[in-house]
Amino acid sequence: MKLVTALIACLLLALPATAQKRIALSFDDAPRGAGAFLDPDTRAKKLTAALRKAGVKQAVFFVNPGTIGQPGHGDGLANLDRYVKAGHVLANHGWSHLKLASTETQAYLADLDRAEAWLKPRPGYRPWFRFPFLDEGGKDKAKRDAIRAGLKARGLTNGYVTAESSDWNIEALAIAAKQAGKNIDMKALRDLYVESHVEAAEFYDALALKTLGRSPAHVMLLHETDIAALFIGDLVKALKAKGWTIVTADQAYADPLRDAAPDTPHAQGTLIEALAWEKGLPAPRWYDRNDLRIANPLFARRVLGEGE
């Protein structure tokens, strides 16, 4: 069995980059508040166990240290430690999850620095910063460039995203349905979550091939949610069935994409989208279920059985 595994690995390495489909998993907003189905501590335990069972050696959790100790967030520090002990890593998502477009540059950097000071001494730390809301300054290029310069001066790199399917919205819709006492079809919720993210990975990889001429090591945006804890194993299985290899966050952020700094009219969203826009590829440059006008009715119909 070990020989077969080694041979498969060698074959994969021999493939041209365009033939490989590699993706790392990232989770934003840790430690996150309570969701629709689990308390935060149970969620962290289930997510850790599910990642281990699925064979995910290393994911990255982008942390908002300002939420640690807040009501409804469980034992956030213990849960972050649990992820690190399982082999995962931690990176900066800002102290308080500020939106750059509505925050002054110096205040934004100060919030970033506060999170960095908390994270840097901790085990599992990585010098990556992910923009909350994937907002890198919107239409304000001066602010965008100031933050890019600020990250470089601090030795931080952009913890960019290349594939997403707005799982935060699926989670929000599930929470709202639970609070309203609606019947949630859990199988349909699982299928929607898994299907949406696999389709997003396929979409953005196809866009990368058009834009870059190769398939990069992708980074999928997820959040530390109940639905991730419940269904991440199903998602990993479905990705593998489509030919994807799950790689570590370290491997993904070693891709030459880490040096990309695309110049677009509006700085927000996935890196692949921005690079495609910079190259002049026509819209849509984003997976369609990131449009809530499409995603919300789909959730209502499939998960809640409304409008059938």
pLDDT recorded at residue 217: 98
172: tokens are 């929000």
Q: What integer is the mean pLDDT of 218-232?
A: 98
pLDDT at residue 238 tops 50? yes
* Residue of 180 and 307 predicted with greater confidence: 180
Distance in angstroms (rounded) separating the CA atoms of residues 189 and 180: 17
β-bridge partners, 217: 22
pLDDT at residue 17 tops 90? no
The owner of tokens 């030795």 is: 155
pLDDT recorded at residue 308: 63
Q: pLDDT grade, residue 19 (50/70/90)? A: low
222: tokens are 């997820």
Q: pLDDT grade, residue 307 (50/70/90)? A: confident
Q: What integer is the mean pLDDT of 30-58?
A: 97
Of all helices (H) and strands (E), which one includes residue 23?
strand 22-30
Report the top-level CATH class of 34-302. alpha beta
pLDDT in tens, 73-97: 999 999 999 999 999 999 999 999 9
Q: 112 near 273, Cβ under 8 Å?
A: no
Q: What integer is the mean pLDDT of 36-49?
A: 98
pLDDT at residue 7 tops 70? no
Q: Give the Cα-Cα-Cα angle 240, 244, 247 (nearest 5 degrees).
A: 105
Q: What integer is the mean pLDDT of 124-147?
A: 98
Query: In percent, how much of the chain has pLDDT > 90?
Result: 93
pLDDT at residue 262 tops 50? yes
Name the 3-class secondary structure at 55.
coil
209: tokens are 């091939």
Q: Is the dihedral of CA 80, 84, 89, 90 positive or negative?
A: positive
Q: pLDDT grade, residue 108 (50/70/90)? A: very high
DSSP 164: E
The owner of tokens 């929470």 is: 175
